[in-house]
Amino acid sequence: MRDGLVWMLWLAIAVSAPFFAGQHLLYNIGIVATTAAIVSGLTLISGVGGLISIAQSAFVAIGCYCAVLLNLHLGIPMLIGIPIAAAVSGAVGWLLGFLCLRLDGHFLALVTLAFSGIVHYAIINLDIAGGAVGLAVPTVTLFGFVMDSPMAIYVITVVASGLTLWFIGLLINSRYGRVLRALRQSEIAAVSLGVDRRSLRTMALATSAVAGGFAGSFQMLQVTYLDPHQFTIVSSVFYIAIMVVGGMRSVHGAIIGAAIFVFVPEFLSGLETYMAFILFLLVTVFIVIMPDGLASIFSVPGRISRWISSRFERKNKNA
Amino acid sequence: MVETFIQLMLGGVIAGSVYALIAISLVLIHNGTGVVNFAFGDQLMAGVYVLVFSQHFLGLSLAPAVAIAVVVSGLFGLAIQFLVMAPLRNRPVLIPIVATIAIGAVLREGIRAFMGPNAWPVPFLLSTSPYHIGGVSIVPSDLAILGTSVIIMLCLYAFFEFTKYGQAILAACANPTGALIVGIPAGATTTSIWILSSMLAAIAGIVIAPLTTLTPDIGLIAIKGFAAAVLGGFASLPGAVVGGVLLGIIEAMAGYYISSAMKDIASYAVLVAVIVFRPTGLFNRASIRKV
């Protein structure tokens, strides 16, 4: 029920934004949506699965570059190329998981760290991908119309990220999500009940890669230029920070975290060069005092009502 | 031909000795506290910046500046333990690891904000004019890097083998529960591991910085330490040393014989290849929890 209410809140904001928001705010809300969808992949693998992936920006990069290159060299329209690119990104994620998830969790952190570095270097050194200069993003056409107005881009990207978030949210609450969570909470217990941890975790990593590639490609439509320096290890770390600050147990956390990382820098922009420093200082303090993330405030009403009802039951028992 | 090979070997071993120092610290923290320290590279970077700061703004000469850098870095390690790691010690290990990522970002962005994004000159430890011995040129400042690293490693060896504290730390790394049972205080060992590895970060940084350019992003060099540690099995300190030297050599060879772009990718490739094909490291048969 509470979950549904929060979804309604996001939906209301997304639908009403074009009516109240100016162009700049609308752009930022769109960025929040796509960033949240990228981070929701991390929520699945890290928050629910308990494994650290430092490769999310690499998956985003694979998605973006695939979609653009398919368009430039094979003439495949962007809206068809993006799902293909997301699938490619997912396949790479699956392969990465297949190769290294035989091992204990934190090896994934190291492999994905190295993978991020490799993808970044590969992009810079590949001439077909524009090298260090980058590529301009082609425009999207839908039923023969060129979708390049801010409003059209907002609608396309928000719908795409909404679908991604909704899908990941369903997945987290599905049977697979519960098994993945059980695996995090007690690996031994879960395995003794017959859970195939390797294939499950590999699928989770692949799904997170699909989400990254898909939502990332739509973010590229908003940014309109592919600069290889958007896809470094540092940007992967940013996605992890967004997940942790928002709360890593649900997709709502990804949305809250993304909103904070988009809008707080706007408020802090007066700090200029000190902005990133203050931001990460806040993040660190935040992790220490509130390790469950901001989304845990949604559970406060539930906790209060449980507390009241437990008091009530005790009184009844006494009587 | 042979001269080139020897020259490359020498360069590889020199860089590798520093990677070994980094790997030792990472393995220490990982085995002693269970945390993979992603802030290490940035601690290393901050250590060098403290050195540069004390030289340029406080006007100190090299030796006291180095001392200040090492002490400040050690105190920072103490702060990490007390302000971040201790409050989070009962949380799932994911949270402290993410916290180290955040701490690293704070250091990097803080230094970028206060010292600027541009490169700073770092003093060489000895002269840079090379001697030529039969076609191989040997630079004193490079030898200083090797010498310092070897001396530090010998000191560490002595500390771990011959002192009670060193033995206690090794015991806590090998078997935390067992160490608790025989009366080794867990809090004290974790704290000393954080201080020790942070001091090593500053030393490794000061030693390697003249070879590269000092910018806030120099911390990415820690990835080479991770690769070295993984090469050595992420378990033993001698393994970390061998892994570091080996990685240095691989990197130098790949950079010369394949292409210069490979020099940067080599450590990433080694990291992935070892984890995929030989996750126990090159030397260990010891158990890694396989799934």
Report if residue B54 sits inside a domain: yes
Evaluate if residue B288 carries a pLDDT over 50: no
**What is the pLDDT averaged over residues A142-156?**
79
Kindly determine whether residue A107 and residue B261, on different chains, have CB atoms separated by under 8 Å: no
Taking the C-alpha atoms of residue A172 and residue A39, their distance in angstroms, rounded to an integer, is: 14
Give residue B290's pLDDT: 42
Kindly determine whether residue A276 and residue B91, on different chains, have CB atoms separated by under 8 Å: no
Kindly determine whether residue A114 and residue B268, on different chains, have CB atoms separated by under 8 Å: yes
Residue environment code for A32-57, b if the CB has 16+ CB neighbours within 10 A, otherwise e: bbbbbbbbbbbbbbbbbbbbbbbbbb
B chain contacts of residue A240, beta-carbon cutoff 8 Å: 98, 101
**What is the pLDDT averaged over residues A53-78?**
88
Evaluate if residue A134 carries a pLDDT over 70: yes
Q: Which of B97, B109, B234 to mutate to test the interface with A (most CBs of A within 10 A)?
A: B109
Whole-number CA gyration radius for chain B? 19
Any CB–CB contact under 8 A between B202 and chain A? Answer: no
How many folded domains does chain B comprise?
A: 1
Any CB–CB contact under 8 A between B223 and chain A? Answer: yes
Report if residue B287 sits inside a domain: no
**ipTM greater than 0.90:** no
Any CB–CB contact under 8 A between A126 and chain B? Answer: no
Kindly determine whether residue A50 and residue B94, on different chains, have CB atoms separated by under 8 Å: yes
How many folded domains does chain A comprise?
A: 1
Domain residue limits at A305: 2-318
Kindly determine whether residue B290 and residue A101, on different chains, have CB atoms separated by under 8 Å: no
Kindly determine whether residue B275 and residue A109, on different chains, have CB atoms separated by under 8 Å: no
Report if residue B227 sits inside a domain: no
Q: Which of A114, A234, A240 sits opposite B272 (nearest CB)?
A: A114
Kindly determine whether residue A115 and residue B268, on different chains, have CB atoms separated by under 8 Å: yes
Q: What is the mean pLDDT of chain A?
A: 84
Could you report the per-residue pLDDT of B32-70, keeping only the tens digit for each? 888 888 899 999 999 999 998 888 888 788 888 889 999
Tell me how close the Cα of A7 comes to any Cα of chain B, in angstroms. 27
Residue environment code for B141-171, b if the CB has 16+ CB neighbours within 10 A, otherwise e: bbebbbbbbeebbeebeeebeeeeebebbbb
**What is the pLDDT averaged over residues B268-290?**
69
Domain residue limits at B107: 21-217
A chain contacts of residue B91, beta-carbon cutoff 8 Å: 291
**What is the pLDDT averaged over residues A222-234?**
83
CATH number assigned to the domain comprising residue A35: 1.10.3470
Q: Residue A161 is encoded by which pair of tokens?
A: 């990220």
Evaluate if residue A201 carries a pLDDT over 50: yes
Any CB–CB contact under 8 A between A211 and chain B? Answer: no
Count CB neighbours of A159 within 10 A.
Answer: 13
Q: Band of the pLDDT at A60, cuts 50, 70, 90?
A: very high
Q: Band of the pLDDT at A211, cuts 50, 70, 90?
A: very high
First to last CA, chain B: 46
Any CB–CB contact under 8 A between A103 and chain B? Answer: yes
Give residue B291's pLDDT: 38
Kindly determine whether residue A103 and residue B288, on different chains, have CB atoms separated by under 8 Å: yes
Report if residue B25 sits inside a domain: yes
Give residue B215's pLDDT: 83
Kindly determine whether residue A244 and residue B102, on different chains, have CB atoms separated by under 8 Å: yes
B chain contacts of residue A111, beta-carbon cutoff 8 Å: 271-272, 275-276
Kindly determine whether residue B275 and residue A273, on different chains, have CB atoms separated by under 8 Å: no
